[in-house]
Each structure stands twice: as structure tokens, then as C-alpha cells.
Amino acid sequence: MQSFRLLGISLVCAVLTACDEKAEVAPPPQQVRTVPAAAARYQPGAEVTGEVKARVQTELSFRVSGRVLERKVEVGSHVRAGDVLARLNDTEQQADVSVARAALESAQAVVAQRTLAFNRARSLLQSGAAPRAIFDDAQKELLSAQATHESAEAALAMAEDALSYTKLKATADGVVTARGVEAGQVVSAAQSAFTLAHDGPRDAVFDVFEAFFLDGRPLNGVEVAPISDHSRFLDASIREVSPVIDAKAGTILIKVGLQDGTPWPLGTPVVGKLRASPRAGIVLPYTAIASANGEPAVWLVNTQNQSVSLRKISVDRYRQNDFVVTAGIAAQDLIVTEGGKFLKEGQAVAWDGK
């Protein structure tokens, strides 16, 4: 009986010893793929869409108020300098010209009469047949008549100017790109009637989000191509950058000067490749990125004890197939690129070549 008891105790001890040995066996290391972090130069860029516009655009408007009697051009019409684009009802202005012309003719007649009286008074004064006072009165009346004549001439010129303002003429050769009036419409002075895009130099105009300017103005060199054919990129240069941000869209206007003779008509949709100054950073594939409390991080391999730790990083830019790290890791650090979804802090790992 004693021997059976000793045998049972021995079996229990053996089982417990086996369990302890099994508990002490470490799990196998997690197999991962890694890439060594390498410093690289990269150049941030962006492709933005825009359109071709005339370098010089003019808002044309009447200088007097009135009712539009006739509109002679449509949007897209090509005009020459001096061409009449629209005409106001000029009945009132014609009447003003007639009144001013009649006033001038009257003043001319008065000047002629006063001139004869002045010459007669001067002759009488020289012969001693008339006193000096008569000559002085004749001279004063002549000067007054001459001043009235000059005033009548100025009034006629103003009336003729007002009449000419009833015709809206093109100020330069170009294309009408917008129209704001129609026949029969009553317009006020300085109300925009047409937008005229002048012939000559062309710009590619882009609205660029302000985030692209956080690190400074982009480089002057820009590649521009029509959206319909990306193989026709042309080299161009930034001509103007707006000093203010569009409050509604949050964009900054950039005008890129196109080369003379560029065969793209007004309104052609184009794409532009903008570039920023080159910078230093570490480029990693997207599969390497992880998260630490909602912030970007990567799994860093400790080659001494073959374990991993989660390291927070600063990402300067996310690109199509990779991202650029500027802080948090150093060159030659070993970064997990695959197999990191189920890793834990301090977990043992194995990788190619190890």
C-alpha cells in the first residue's frame, strides 16, 4: 500500500515538472520584413489644374448712363481696337450737342459784333473824335464776348464727348470673354459691360492651396501641359504670386508666363507641376507606418536583443507610394515594413538575414 502511495506522488511530481518546463519555453519570434532607414534628398511637388488666360484683361464699361440700343458682339468675338461693341440711346446727348452748337454760333456772332465796335472805337480814339471811356467800354465788351465764345467751345466739346461715350469701343485687339449687358437694358456709368482679353502674351493661371506655401515660395520653374495631352509639357516660369489668400477657397493665385507662340487658345484647361526646394529626410514605404495613440509611428527593431519598439515619428509629406520622415528615427535604423500589425512592445522578431 505504501509503495502505491509513493508511486502516485512520483507521477504527480513528474507531471508538475513537465508543466513547468513547458511554461518556460519562449514563443517563437515573429517573422517580419524590414528595411534600413536611409537618408535621402526629396523635392516636394504638386500637380495643380488651371486655365490659359490673357496676361492683360480689361473691363469695358460706358462712361454715361442710358438704355442699351444695340449690342454688336458676342462672347468669343475677336475685335480690333476702335470697333464699336455696343451703343446707348443718344437722343439726349444729340440734343445737348445741338444746344451747345447753337450757343457757340451765337457767341461767334457776338464776338464778330464786338470786334467791329472795338475797331470803330479805336479809330475814333486815335482821331480824337471819341473819349477814352468809349474805347475802354468797347474793349471790355469784346473781352467778355471772347470769354463767352471760349466757354461755348468748351461746352460743345463736352457735349460731343458725352455723345461719343454712348458708343462703347474696344480699347485694344482681343477677344470678348464676358458680357454683362443686353439690348434694351438700362445701365449706369462704369457698370461692367464686356471683358476684353487682349491679344499678346498668355498666362497659365492656377489656384494653389496655401499648404504648399508653408515652407516658402515654390521654385520659379514650372512644367505646363494641356490636360488633354500630358505628353506636351512646356517649360515656363512663375510670373506673379498673389500676396493674399482667397478667404473663401483658401488658395493663392499663381500666374505662370507661357512662351510666345504657345498654341493654346484662351480657356484651355492645363495642368502645372510645381516644385519646392529640395530637402533632406528619410523615405519609407506606406507599409511601414503604424499608429501610437493616433499619431504616426513605426516599429523600430533593436538588433541587439532582436525585439521591437514603437517609435513616434514626424511625417513631412505623404506621397503616392511612400512618406517622408523628418524626425523620430535616424539613418541605418531597422524599420519593420511587413508583419507589424500584430506586434507588441518588446516582442521578439526575426527578419531576413537574421
In the DSSP assignment, the letter for residue 348 is B
For the segment 162-172, what is each residue's pLDDT rounded down to a tens digit? 999 999 999 99
Per-residue pLDDT of the chain (354 residues; tens, 9 = 90+): 445 454 455 555 554 454 544 445 567 887 878 888 888 887 777 889 999 999 999 999 999 999 999 999 999 999 999 999 999 999 999 999 999 999 999 999 999 999 999 998 888 888 887 788 888 888 899 999 999 999 999 999 999 999 999 999 999 999 999 999 999 999 999 999 999 999 999 999 999 988 878 777 888 999 999 998 888 889 999 999 999 998 888 899 999 999 888 889 999 999 999 988 888 888 888 888 888 888 898 888 888 888 888 888 888 878 778 888 888 888 888 888 888 788 888 888 887 765
pLDDT tens digits for 177-203? Answer: 999 999 999 999 999 999 999 999 999
Residue 351 vs residues 279, 296, 343: alpha-carbon distances, Å: 31, 23, 13
**How many Cβ atoms from other residues are within 10 Å of residue 220's Cβ?**
11
**pLDDT at position 5, please?**
55
Confidence (pLDDT) at 175: 94
What pLDDT score was predicted for residue 75?
93
Question: How much is the pLDDT for 21?
Answer: 47
Amino acid occupying residue 291: S
pLDDT at 17: 52
The contacts of residue 149 (CB under 8 Å, 6+ apart) are 104, 107, 108, 110, 111
Residue 4: the pLDDT is: 45
- Is the CB of residue 274 less than 8 Å from the CB of residue 208? yes
Q: At what angle do helices 132-164 and 91-127 cross, to 10 degrees?
A: 160
Q: Are 193 and 73 in contact (CB under 8 A)?
A: no
Q: Longest C-alpha distance within the chain, in Å?
A: 182
Q: Assign 254 to helix, strand or coil.
A: strand
What is the pLDDT, as a whole number, of residue 169? 95
pTM: 0.64
pLDDT of residue 22: 46
Question: What length does the chain have?
Answer: 354
Asked if 204 and 272 count as a contact pair (C-beta separation under 8 A), the reply is: yes
Per-residue confidence (pLDDT) for residue 150, from 0 to 100: 95
